[in-house]
Amino acid sequence: MSLAATAPGLLTQTTGYRRASNVFGEAGTVDAYLRVEAALAEVEGELGVIPREAIAPIVAACRRENLDLDALREAAAVVGYPIVPLVAMLASRAGESGQWVHFGTTTQDVMDTAQVLQMREVLNITLADTARVERLLARLCDLHRRTPMVGRSKLQHGVPISFGYKIAVWLDQIFRTRIGLARALEEASVLQFGGAMGTLASLRADGMAVRRRLAERLSLVEPDISWHASRDRMVALAGAVAALLAALAKVAVDVAHLMSTEVGEVQEPAAAGRGSSSTMPQKRNPVICEAIIEAARSVQHVPGVLYGTMLQEHERGIGHGYRERAALSDAVQHLSGAVSLAEEMLAGLEVDAGRMDRNLKLTNGLIHTEAMMIHLSDRIGRIEAHRVLHEISHRVSQTGTDLGTALWEVAGAELPERVLDFHSQVEAAQQMIDRVLETVSFLGPKPEPGLAPD
């Protein structure tokens, strides 16, 4: 785990975060640039736009191990962008064929397309990882569909629910935001290839054929028109990344609260030394939850940053590209790490059904007040029932007596046993649980993890 002040803590040691960091790091980014340049040479050579014999030397040059990365860094620092010195370096290594490197394209074409390739590479795996999280949730949901627990509103006891119902709510939101991200990724998996002003003027009659073949070669969608200054797809992608991360963080927020000393209904997986305190040895801190929540809070501003990139000047804007690449790649890294942590947490989540049962009884029956009001409404009307139950609730809270005794003292009525039956109260939600599990299809065929081609 990185000890740097800027490192996002526990996330840095997860498989998802490391994988994303490798793809978006220097080597992964250069590899993406080279993939675009090599594919362009292949396509243009096949179509006769450049000499066919230029393909092999250019493709051979487009290998990172053939490059002097130190020299590339120094030159990029002078130019301000990496593509110009990269093209010069490739041209020098391709010999006489070097004059055909980067033919008819421009820096932003390469950088935008490379970014799309990187996003797709990382997010397709992250989507598959998220599907595994959903499978864990589905199993827990089915296992605890009738495990009664306190339902909480504004952190106060409300009415009984089942732990399975709570999990189904988590699962439904994660499933929907995963599908939303898969769709946004599919929409964003678009080639950028328009040349200087997006019009493909330098390639003249060959431009559209090259663009079509290049999109096919890279398994990307061919856009109707160049999108150098049209960033809505990236904005939608950022929003979808942030939404899925927030859905995971919702689970973490709930689990962290359920781990509190006063509640104690679940625990993160135990590990030697994990979550310990430097001054309070008795503590078992919700460190996985904390890391997921921090990840979500760290990227919640990213959609706003990317909305700003839509306000570009004319055909090619100024001062937008770096912010988009940095913010979006950082968000994807945080999401990928959070998914790994969520999988770890849910795979080993410790559920204390006994503590859930004891917590249901903490308020001396007040958790049944809604059911009692419905019962009394049939006899004395809803308004009077609400008044009576309000008085009874106050008496129970002040004196510590139980709901049944207070009901008899205030209204001279007995409390029917069926009103106290936790299991009958959670039964009503079973159809909703079934619908969620049916929708996500994890009790049957497994859904595709993502929609974008690999």
DSSP 8-class letter at 152: E
Task: State the CATH class of domain 10-105+206-218.
Answer: mainly alpha
Q: What pLDDT is stored for residue 278 in this prediction?
A: 46
* DSSP symbol at 160: E
Does the pLDDT of residue 139 top 50, yes or no?
A: yes
pLDDT of residue 115: 98
- As a whole number of Å, the end-to-end CA separation of the chain is 30
DSSP states of 87-105 as a string? HHHHHHHTGGGGGGTTTT-
Q: What is the pLDDT of residue 1?
A: 59
Helix (H) or strand (E) holding 434, with range, is helix 430-440
Specify the 3-state DSSP secondary structure of 156: strand
Residues 6+ apart with CB under 8 A from 175: 134, 436, 439, 440
Q: Is 397 a catalytic residue?
A: no
Query: Radius of gyration over alpha carbons of the chain, in Å?
Result: 29
Burial (CB < 10 A; 0-12, 13-18, 19+), residue 395, is middle
The beta strands (E) that lie in 135-185 are given as 148-153, 156-162
The pTM is what? 0.91
Q: What is Dmax (Cα atoms) for the chain?
A: 101
What is the SS3 assignment for 389? helix
Is residue 420 packed enough to be buried (19+ CB in 10 Å), middle (13-18) or exposed (0-12)? middle
Residue 232 banded pLDDT, cuts 50, 70, 90: very high
> What is the C-alpha to C-alpha distance for residues 297 and 256, in angstroms, rounded to an integer?
15
Q: Are 436 and 168 in contact (CB under 8 A)?
A: yes
- Torsion-angle region of 80 (φ positive above 0: left; ψ -120 to 50: alpha; else: beta): left
Place of tokens 């390739």: 117
Domain ranges of the chain: 10-105+206-218, 358-432
* 336: amino acid identity, one letter: S
What residues contact 75, with CB distance under 8 A and at least 6 apart? 84, 85, 88, 89
Return mean pLDDT, the chain.
91
Check if 316 is active-site. Answer: yes
User: Average pLDDT for residues 29-39, to the nearest whole number?
Assistant: 98
> Pick the catalytic residue: 316, 325, 329, 336?
316
Residue of 219, 277, 397, 424 with catalytic role: 277
CB contact at 8 A, 90 and 84: no
pLDDT band at 451 (very low <50, low <70, confident <90, very high): very low
pLDDT tens for 179-227 read: 999 999 999 999 999 999 999 999 999 999 999 999 999 999 999 999 9
- Comparing CA positions, the residue from 18, 21, 123, 24 lying closest to residue 341 is 18
pLDDT at 228 over 50: yes
Distance in angstroms (rounded) separating the CA atoms of residues 42 and 213: 10
What integer pLDDT is reported at residue 449 of this predicted model?
Answer: 47
Q: List Cα–Cα distances, 51 to 42, 55, 95, 103, in angstroms.
A: 10, 8, 14, 11
Residue-wise DSSP of 291-344? HHHHHHHHHTTHHHHHHHTT---TTS-SS-HHHHHHHHHHHHHHHHHHHHHHHH
| Among 271, 322, 327, 268, residue whose Cα is nearest residue 293 | 268
Q: How many CA atoms lie within 13 A of 265 on its CB side?
A: 21
Q: Residue 350 has what DSSP assignment?
A: E
Coil, strand or helix at 161 = strand
pLDDT, one tens digit per residue, over 250-282 is 999 999 999 999 999 999 997 755 544 445 445
In CATH, 358-432 is 1.10.40: yes
In 3D space, the residue among 347, 366, 345, 431 whose CA is nearest the CA of residue 150 turns out to be 366
The two structure tokens encoding residue 415? 């409390």
Are 67 and 94 in contact by the 8 Å Cβ rule? The answer is: no
336 φ/ψ angles, rounded to the nearest 5 degrees: -60, -40
What are the contacts of 439-442 at 24+ separation with CB within 8 A? 439/172, 439/175, 440/134, 440/138, 440/171, 440/172, 440/175, 442/134, 442/135, 442/138, 442/139
Residue 45 has pLDDT above 50, yes or no: yes
Distance CA 125, CA 454 (A): 9
What are 157's strand-pairing partners? 152
Integer angstrom CA distances of residue 310 from 21, 217, 221, 374:
26, 28, 21, 53
